[in-house]
Chains A and B, each alone.
Chain A
Amino acid sequence: MDTNRVRKLKQGRTIVLTGIFLGLFYIIFSDGFGEVYPFINGGVAGMLAGLVVAILELGVFAGALRKKRFINLLILRTTLYFVLLTFLILQVLIISRMIRLEQSYTEVLFDPAFQHYVFKEDFPIVVVYTMVLAFSINFVRMISRKMGQGMLLSYLTGTYRRPVDQERIVMFMKLKNSQGISEQLGSLDFYRFLNDFFYDITESIIVHKGIIYEYVEDLIVVTWSVDQGCTHSNCVRTFFHAIEELEFRKESFFAKYNIIPIPFAAFHYGHVIRSEIGDVKSEIVFHGDVMNTTARILEKCSGLKADLLISTQLANKLDLPKIYQSISRGKVKLKGKEESLELNEIIEILQTKV
């Protein structure tokens, strides 16, 4: 199974489990532990709700809808989930009664006791509980995405409040001829173009466990832990996956801007100091020679006519799959560096003959 499906299944499982937990959690608050059936109702409602949310989140909201405004998405999600979940909870309650009281659907629906429960008793609180949960979970999830992968958690746990020394793989990726494109499109359209480009390659990065560190004009910096970046050659795959992703969207770029974005990238790895900096507008920053070196390697791409340059040190750590080939480009003198660095170029092999 490909990595993307595994990832989505894992996420789906998390959502469903959360649903079950929240369903049970509410019952503990409202009815106490006296009877068994509220737990079954809560658990079943939570699980079904989790399934609905998982399908919507991983199917519908993961697509083109991402580009909508934050506030519109937040309102859309909250109302959609609220309506769906309220309906679903009502159904679970009715079916549970059907089983317990051995009545038909309509009998339960028009049963005065049930009507009393829905209009006079706890049900409005259940509805408010659902509404508040739907809103706050969506809000936090969406903000967390905006802040970057793992950022919110790092802030919460304070992992990087004291600087931490880590070994990481770094990718610097840039657009070819960005200066020319920017002049051709004008600054506002260039911005839209860049943003479309970033949105389209984001999934490729997430699927391959990359952490987006920052955007600087048309440059995007992504990092991996050495372990995750090397497994499955994730770091290199990110680049080629992004290229394929752009191939799929070639036509829409051409229709909109008359230009197709073509990225090139440099990879290296080494020690970085990672630390949370600033009181207001905090950022978790990387300091280290590897950042500088990778930027210098990227500068060599045009001279060597290579789309993907990688330090030989890193290339040797990777167990490249058969669809890629690593070619040595020898020792290269980098700007501002005393010693020259050995570089490799990685290319895709599109046709393989057995």
Chain B
Amino acid sequence: MFPIDIHTINREGKALVIVIVGIIAGLLYPLLSKELGDPYAMVNGLLIGVLGSLYVAMVELYISDPHNRKRGFLARIIRKSLTYTIFFVFLILLVLSISRSIQAGLDYLEYLTSEAFYNLVFKEDFHIIVLYTLLFSTGIIFVNQLSRKMGQGVLWNFITGKYHNPREEERIFMLLDMKDSTSTAEKLGDLGFSNLLNDFFYDITPAIIHTSGVIYRYVGDEVVVSWRMQQGLKNANCIRTSFLAKLVIRRQREKYLNTYGLVPDFRCGFHYGPVVVGQIGDVKSQIAFSGEVMYLASMIESQCKSDNMENLVSGDLLKRMSLPGIYDMQPVSSIVNRAGKKIDLYTITEVSFTQPY
């Protein structure tokens, strides 16, 4: 089934990453605190790392309410790091006390009432462990949320400097544009329209991510999405995005009708070609694409409007793709690029499957 929320996409993979980070963090602490030789410390660290990260993965990926995603950035960070720290403090205390009671050869309850347990909590470096946990969880959560804000892969690309020197890449582009946005904006007013756009973008985001699309930018009521060739062509991912997004909006239509008195609809234009990708600007840096394909994709998108089509895909792109059986294509019209070459445009529809009674 198609996941309606972003964080349920590829859950198992993400859970694995969280657990690995947990194990590393768990093993790192005993190393830092010079308890390297002590097997107990290593086992404890490992145990805390595994159990803790399993809990985090469970909460993050399987339990937390997707609708809470709209909470503020700061509120999210504070709430998460506090709840996790409290959980971790108890987990660490539990693991340490069990391990110590085994070490001391005492019964667990006996150990809890002993002087040694009191010392562990109040005299030893327990408060440093708590601080370490708080800092570690806040740090990870902060970077995670930040990376989400910046866009898929953007933070990583800044750090590695992949596009520090501009390079040429072949990419697929989709321009997704809201229908009748001018009249909608007039009807709702600036603030209302801004809210509608925000809800709309928020709702279609999972459809884009699920099909490996990378959101490049928002321009007014338009989203520009791009794919690396391989990922966009696989399963006809790029085409699928637009149909998934339609489904998502359909499922949410009641909410839109109640809030705004209308359900947003959109058109998409698709094309592919070479672009120069580079990190531009010192302040407010962007990883920017530039190339004729961007311009052509936007021409194709406006052609949708004049041909009154839901989507238009360039023949060049369709030639590279094997279209799954559930889609049909029909030639519609064509545009001309700067060099005067004609680009044929096709529209993709879903095959309607019917059965006799």
Contact = CB atoms under 8 A, between A and B. Distances in A.
Interface string A181-192: 000000110011
A198 B281 contact: yes
Given A156-B73, A158-B72, A281 B284 contact: no
B4 to A, nearest CB: 13
Contacts, number: 151
A191 B166 contact: yes
Interface string A150-183: 0110011110010101000000000000000000
Contacts of B285: 145-147
A21 interface: no
B191 A70 contact: no
Contact of A277 (B69, B218, B280): B218
A163 B191 contact: yes
A301 interface: no
B356 interface: no
B154 interface: yes
A273 B194 contact: yes
Contacts of A287: 190, 193-194, 220
A278 B291 contact: no
Contact of B198 (A191, A275, A281): A275
Given A70-B158, A187-B291, A279-B69, A148 B284 contact: yes
Contacts of B280: 191, 194-195, 198, 215
Interface string B157-183: 011110011111000000000000000
A136 B135 CA distance: 11
A67 B69 CA distance: 36
B190 A188 contact: no
Given A128-B32, A165-B191, A273-B194, A282 B284 contact: no
B284 A212 contact: yes
Given A156-B74, A202-B281, A187 B290 contact: yes
A256 interface: no
Contacts of A158: 72-75
Contact of B284 (A147, A278, A280): A147
B195 A163 contact: yes
Interface string A275-318: 11111111101011000000000000000000000000000000
A128 B195 CA distance: 46
Nearest to B292: A187
B284 A279 contact: no
A143 B155 contact: yes
Interface string B265-280: 0000000000010111
A117 interface: no
B13 to A, nearest CB: 17
A282 B161 contact: no
A147 B195 CA distance: 23
Contacts of A69: 161, 164
A278 B290 CA distance: 22
A202 B281 CA distance: 8
A61 to B, nearest CB: 12
A70 B284 contact: no
A285 B221 CA distance: 11
Given A198-B281, A287-B220, A281 B168 contact: no
Nearest to A281: B151
A199 B276 CA distance: 19
Interface in B28-43: 32
B282 A215 contact: no
A212 B280 CA distance: 12
Given A214-B284, A273-B191, A278 B215 contact: yes
B158 A283 contact: no
A336 to B, nearest CB: 12
Contacts of A187: 168, 276, 290-291
A213 interface: yes
Contacts of A194: 280
Contact of B149 (A165, A198, A282): A282
A132 B69 CA distance: 30
A71 interface: yes
Contacts of A206: 283
A215 B283 CA distance: 11
B143 to A, nearest CB: 8
Nearest to B154: A281
A283 B218 contact: yes
B210 to A, nearest CB: 12
Contacts of B220: 287
Nearest to A195: B280
Contacts of B167: 188
Contacts of A143: 146, 155, 158
B218 A202 contact: no
The listed residue with most A CB atoms (<10 A of its CB), out of B72, B209, B282, B291, is B282
A188 B151 contact: no
B86 interface: no
B136 to A, nearest CB: 10
B201 interface: yes
Interface string B39-69: 0000000000000000000000000000001
A331 interface: no
B295 to A, nearest CB: 10
Given A143-B146, A192-B166, A151 B284 contact: yes
Given A157-B74, A275-B194, A277-B218, A202 B201 contact: no
Nearest to A159: B72
Interface in B286-306: 286, 288, 290-291
B132 to A, nearest CB: 10
B217 interface: yes
B281 A71 contact: no
9 contacts: A29-B131, A70-B159, A143-B155, A147-B285, A152-B146, A191-B280, A279-B205, A280-B215, A281-B216
Interface of A: 29, 66-67, 69-72, 74, 128, 132, 136, 143, 145-149, 151-152, 155-158, 161, 163, 165, 187-188, 191-192, 194-195, 198-199, 202, 205-206, 212-215, 217, 273, 275-283, 285, 287-288
10 closest pairs, A vs B, by CB? A281-B151, A148-B284, A158-B72, A69-B161, A191-B166, A163-B194, A212-B284, A281-B215, A146-B285, A202-B282
